[in-house]
Amino acid sequence: MARTEATTAPDADGLRRRVADLLAAHDPATTDRAAFLQARFDAGLAWVHFPAGLGGLDAPRALQAVVDAELEAAGAPDNDPHRIGIGLGMAAPTILRYGTEEQKRRFLRPLWLGEEVWCQLFSEPGAGSDLAALATRAVRDGDGWVVDGQKVWTSGAHVARWAILIARTDPDLPKHRGITYFVCDMTDPGVEVRPLRQITGEAEFNEVFLTGVRIPDSHRLGEVGDGWRVAQTTLMNERVAIGGGRVPREGGLIGLLAQKWRERPELRTHDLHQRVLELWVEAEAARLAGERLRQQLVAGQPGPEGSAMKLAFARLNQEISGVEVELRGEEGLLYDDWTLRRPEGVDFAGRDAGYRYLRAKGNSIEGGTTEVLLNIVAERVLGLPPEPRTDKDIPWKELAR
């Protein structure tokens, strides 16, 4: 399959010309959606900061906005990032940084095209906030590994083709060191996905049981025992993906609250007026902070600042959705569908206020609990003394569980 190679990274004008060439050869009005996305990837316009031949052009990350704006103005289809967010925001940057050339070429293209959905097998019933204490075992067997264990809170596992997985490969080492990072085929024998029904009535989360699952060593990312370092790339990108996404002014939940405030003057009270104003200002400050964070990302990998953005995202979502329910009064408690559904993602904007209020509670857990993220910000951003950790140098097998 042909791929466009680049010798020098294009500037903004060069990218606009590439977009124009793509649109001229593949008119979005008459080209099949899948064919258009394939052509976009092969033109290096999928994620421009990726290497040539892998959907990019080795261009600055910031120039992706130029491409996206040109394509949106032309009515071109996107790759449904809401549906494949875990692949785009977590698996792809990890594969790019630690994967072999063969792994990059095998996984990145179908991932970006949305042909293969990804999920994340990290958290466990006994290792949520303390992820490094995970107990899922991977035992070497010939040219592969046999994995046994249980994962939990796995978004989208019921529709995923692949998973990023961390497992313990050496219980004799301290907990942060005997961990290895793998790509797991969710269709393999021994992988069982069970729904976890949430307070919303839905089950976008799952628990996943791994029983004798065989993973070839060719599906290992990074070195044996270096899984914790590889996982940090995933986690830092995850927090940026959750809390640092680009939104317009009055985008997200604050826009829904502001719209309702303007449409229904009879619902307003002095107390709510003050709270809406304060939340609007905080949401705008968080939006601008997110823009600054994305500018920092242009220069390298995401850092601990993404944890602060994710903290702000969770708190604002919960406070805004709470004020919206209070503003609407009795009608704010209405919720259209309590039947068990298995959605592929979270849709805050397209649902009732009651759904938003309930679903926002999960923002304090997913992508790192609030307590863990506060520690990260305190220690790595503010430089405060770390909490005492007496188990860092003790072999994992000797830890109390």
Distance separating alpha carbons of residues 54 and 178, to the nearest angstrom: 31
Give the pairing of strands 220-221 and 144-151.
unpaired
Q: Can 238 be counted among the known catalytic residues?
A: yes
Can you tell me which residue has the tokens 């188990």?
391
Residue 30 per-residue DSSP state: T
Distance separating alpha carbons of residues 326 and 126, to the nearest angstrom: 37
Burial of 72 per CB tally in 10 Å (0-12, 13-18, 19+)? exposed
Burial of 299 per CB tally in 10 Å (0-12, 13-18, 19+)? exposed
Q: Contacts from 244-251 at CB under 8 Å and sequence distance 24+?
A: 244/290, 244/293, 244/294, 244/306, 244/309, 244/310, 244/313, 245/290, 246/65, 246/290, 246/291, 246/294, 247/287, 247/290, 249/284, 249/287, 250/280, 251/287
Cα Rg for the chain, rounded, in angstroms?
Answer: 22
Chain centroid to CA 157: how far? 14
Can you tell me which residue has the tokens 């992820």?
131
> 3-state SS of 268-292?
CCHHHHHHHHHHHHHHHHHHHHHHH
Distance separating alpha carbons of residues 127 and 125, to the nearest angstrom: 6
Is the Cβ–Cβ distance between 277 and 261 less than 8 Å? no
Residue 90 per-residue DSSP state: I
Phi, psi (degrees; rounded to nearest 5) at 206:
-145, 160
How many other CB atoms sit within 10 Å of the CB of residue 340? 11
Out of 207, 238, 305, 324, the active site residue is: 238
Active site residues: 238
